[in-house]
Structure 1
Amino acid sequence: MLASLHKHLLNDYQQDFPLSPTPFLDIAEQLGVTEGEVLAAFQVLAEQQMISRIGPVIAPNAIGNSALVAMAVPEQDLAHVAALVSAYPEVNHNYERENRFNLWFVLIASDQAHLQRVISDIETQTGYKTMLLPMLADYFINLGFELNLND
């Protein structure tokens, strides 16, 4: 069961995270706790894998270049290849899909040449080809969700 502070952090700051030099202090003041308590609570949420990161979501290609990439990886190599792909700082996230192209990831680089170098390196390191999936249309899906704070 989550503590009230954890629930508030997860619920109230999914989309309205303070943009200031002291965001954790701002949150603490809004919730009536200390900055240390906020930082400790976020650490617990990260350790429990309830959050993976705190950071902005930037529209594709608004800064640098981004690409959706797919790979067809044999099941026995999937975990290993996914770990290799995730180790690249340019990889935003990856996920498994039920398809011949079963490993998908989003890659972000400073420019098209950098993007191509990373893709080439991933192919060399993994031994598998990639398929670039260019964005034809931009859709926004709000991934925020309301937590029931009464539990």
Structure 2
Amino acid sequence: MLTNLHKQLLNDYQHDFPLSPRPYRDIADALGVTEDDVLTAFAELSDNHLISRIGPVIPPNHIGVSALVAMAVPEAELQTVADKVSAHPEVNHNYEREHRINLWFVVIASDNEHLQTVIEDIEQETSYPAMQLPMLNDFFIDLGFKLDLTDA
């Protein structure tokens, strides 16, 4: 069950997360709770798979290099392959698309050589070829949204 603190954290800190040496204390001060309360609540949200990470969204290729990559994976193997892809710390996220080329993911690395090594490693581990898709236009999609967390 979500507490009021969980709801506030989910709604109010998708954007404008404090950039300070003690951001969780800053959040706690703003919400009238303790820093430990905030840390515990975020840990609970993570443990319950309601959040997957806390971190910045950096535009592509502003720090290091990145690539959108796609693979055609048989449906029966999709979860296994997705898990192998996600095991790489350089993989930002992956998702399924309804198409023959059905597994898409973003790889971020310090330089192009490292990027290519990660993609080659994924191909070897999964036995499926990876198709790199060049970025022709940069679009920003705001991944934050207001949640309706009222009790029903």
Scaled by the length of structure 2, what TM-score is found?
Answer: 0.96
Counterpart for residue 69 of structure 1 = 69
> Match of 1:95, SS?
strand
Paired residue total: 151
Map of 2:99 onto structure 1: 99
Segments of structure 1 that go 5 or more residues without pairing to the other structure are none
Q: 1:6 to 1:109 in 2, by over 3 A?
A: same
Structure 1 residue ranges (4+ consecutive) displaced by more than 4 angstroms after TM superposition? none
1:130 positional shift: 0.5
Q: Which one-letter code corresponds to 1:57 in the other structure?
A: V
1:138 corresponding residue in structure 2: 138
**Structure 2 residues without counterparts, runs of 5 or longer:** none
One-letter code of the match for 1:133?
L
Q: Give, as a single letter, the amino acid of the residue that structure 1 aligns with 2:33.
A: V
Structure 1 residue 113 and structure 2 residue 150: aligned? no
1:10 is aligned to: 10
Match of 2:23 in 1: 23
Contact kept in structure 2, 1:92 and 1:108, CA below 8 Å: yes
User: 1:53 aligns to what?
Assistant: 53
Give secondary structure in 2 for the equivalent of 1:9: helix
On the 8 A contact 1:4/1:149 being kept in 2, the answer is no
Counterparts of 1:63 and 1:21, CA distance in 2: 21
Percent identical residues: 68
> Offset at 1:150?
4.6
TM-score normalized with structure 1 length: 0.96
Q: What is the match of residue 36 of structure 1?
A: 36
Matches of 1:122 and 1:22 in 2, distance apart?
A: 37
